């Protein structure tokens, strides 16, 4: 099933938020999310929620409550549509969705700490078991979306490929890919990452393909080009040129070979992914005069030298994709310095791995839920009182 990309919640054309919610839910029916049937049984819930519902049932008590969900930090909301479908389809046995009302922010909405993201009203026993999966869904999706948005903002309009699939459990690829799209990523690296919105995996060629050709970057690129031209003609050929730690020489060799074999314009770009522990061969002499570490990995002088070398031989149309250890702050440095990068590939940092606020990224994005009303009266833990939010949109179950 293919689904169109949802309109971002902050799109200036989407002035009717209720209509935006309807359109978003229309693109994402509950079947898209393939919820585990054990959610309804509480198997995926913190056990104390299940025991709380059982205690109320034994006491023949079924209070009507308002549950408030809030974010603990600023960022971008993602997972709201999934959360709505979770509530819609996974209520406890004996309860219909009509017994519950739900107000929510929209996927793509900015959110501030302590701002209410959802209000859920109804019999507590109907949704007591859903607090765990609902908060987990919002937390994971919003973490990825928020980090991607930070990278997108830093890249100043240049395309960003979400390459996080290899850095986490394969079971989260589809949901992470959707969250990356909500955050603004132009493409994802796996088909699973685009499954919810009809996208396909993008990207270049792996180092493994070059290794399979005995380390011959030119041979691997030509073979890759022949394959995509025959079977996936819409795929741009971008060669990975750091395999031998000699990006200038290999990029030029690839560009010449591609032009000879297929004509001008056949090579869309080259990707540089130099290890942060190494200095490219073209900069070895310069590195002797530079501070330690200044020229390791993918750095501005390397990209500028590569751009100049390509341009000198008439390959101005060949773009340079930079990847390997890029964070919002590193991208901002490249952009401020006017480094001639055509796009960025960003992976593990978008999941919060090995990074932190110093890199302009979030390592976590937690949500909390509290009962804040009981049978229509205020009833909340100290400091967790009801905080209305005019931006919430009420879900119309019909």
Residue 72 — very low, low, confident or very high, per pLDDT cuts 50/70/90? confident
Rounded to an integer, what distance in angstroms lies between the CA atom of residue 162 and that of residue 235? 17
Q: Where are the alpha helices (DSSP H) in 161-216?
A: 173-183, 207-212
Condensed to tens digits (0 to 9), the pLDDT of residues 163-183 reads: 777 777 788 888 888 998 999
User: Average pLDDT, whole number, for the chain?
Assistant: 88
Task: Dig out the tokens for 149 from the structure.
Answer: 């948005």
Task: Dig out the tokens for 101 from the structure.
Answer: 């009302």
Order the strands of the 160-162 sheet from edge to edge. Answer: 187-188, 160-162, 343-346, 319-323, 269-272, 238-240
Condensed to tens digits (0 to 9), the pLDDT of residues 218-264 reads: 999 999 999 999 999 988 999 999 989 999 999 999 999 999 999 99
**Mean pLDDT calculated for residue range 345-367:** 68
pLDDT the model gives residue 9 = 56
Beta bridge partners of 19: none
- As a whole number of Å, the CA-based R_g of the chain is 25
Cβ atoms of residues 224 and 205 within 8 Å = yes
Is residue 5 over pLDDT 50? Answer: no
Task: Dig out the tokens for 341 from the structure.
Answer: 């990068």
Condensed to tens digits (0 to 9), the pLDDT of residues 78-104 reads: 999 999 999 999 999 999 999 999 999
Q: What is the pTM of this model?
A: 0.82
List Cβ<8 Å contacts ≥24 apart for 30-36: 30/85, 30/88, 30/89, 31/1, 32/1, 32/3, 32/85, 32/196, 33/82, 33/85, 33/86, 35/85, 35/86, 35/89, 35/90
Residue indicated by tokens 């890029």 = 326
Is residue 359 over pLDDT 80? Answer: no
């Amino acid at each position: 099933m293919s689904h169109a990309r949802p309109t971002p919640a902050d799109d200036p054309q989407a002035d009717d938020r209720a209509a935006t919610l309807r359109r978003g839910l229309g693109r994402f029916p509950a079947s898209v999310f393939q919820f585990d049937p054990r959610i309804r049984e509480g198997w995926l819930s913190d056990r104390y929620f299940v025991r709380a519902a059982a205690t109320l049932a034994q006491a023949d008590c079924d209070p009507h409550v308002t549950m408030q969900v809030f974010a603990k930090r600023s960022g971008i909301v993602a997972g709201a549509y999934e959360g709505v479908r979770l509530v819609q389809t996974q209520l406890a046995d004996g309860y219909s969705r009509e017994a519950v009302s739900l107000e929510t922010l929209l996927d793509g909405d900015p959110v501030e700490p302590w701002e209410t993201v959802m209000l859920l009203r109804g019999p507590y026993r109907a949704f007591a078991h859903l607090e765990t999966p609902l908060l987990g869904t919002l937390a994971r999706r919003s973490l990825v979306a928020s980090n991607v948005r930070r990278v997108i903002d830093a890249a100043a309009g240049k395309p960003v490929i979400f390459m996080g699939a290899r850095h986490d459990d394969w079971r989260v690829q589809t949901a992470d890919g959707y969250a990356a799209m909500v955050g603004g990523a132009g493409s994802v690296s796996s088909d699973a990452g685009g499954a919810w919105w009809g996208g396909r995996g993008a990207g270049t060629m792996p180092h493994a393909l070059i290794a399979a050709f005995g380390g011959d970057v030119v041979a691997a690129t030509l073979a890759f080009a022949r394959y995509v031209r025959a079977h996936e003609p819409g795929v741009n050929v971008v060669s990975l040129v750091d395999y031998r730690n000699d990006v200038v020489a290999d990029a030029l060799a690839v560009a010449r070979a591609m032009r000879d074999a297929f004509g001008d314009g056949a090579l869309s770009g080259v990707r540089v992914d130099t290890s942060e522990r190494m200095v490219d061969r073209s900069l070895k002499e310069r590195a002797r005069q530079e501070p330690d570490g200044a020229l390791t990995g993918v750095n501005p002088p390397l990209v500028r030298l590569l751009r100049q070398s390509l341009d000198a031989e008439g390959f101005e149309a060949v773009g340079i994709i930079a990847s390997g250890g890029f964070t919002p702050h590193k991208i901002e440095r490249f952009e401020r310095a006017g480094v001639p990068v055509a796009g960025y590939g960003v992976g593990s940092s978008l999941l919060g791995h090995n990074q932190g606020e110093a890199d302009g990224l979030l390592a976590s994005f937690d949500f909390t839920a509290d009962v804040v009303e009981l049978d229509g009266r205020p009833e909340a833990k100290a400091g967790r009182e009801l905080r209305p939010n005019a931006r919430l949109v009420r879900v119309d179950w019909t």
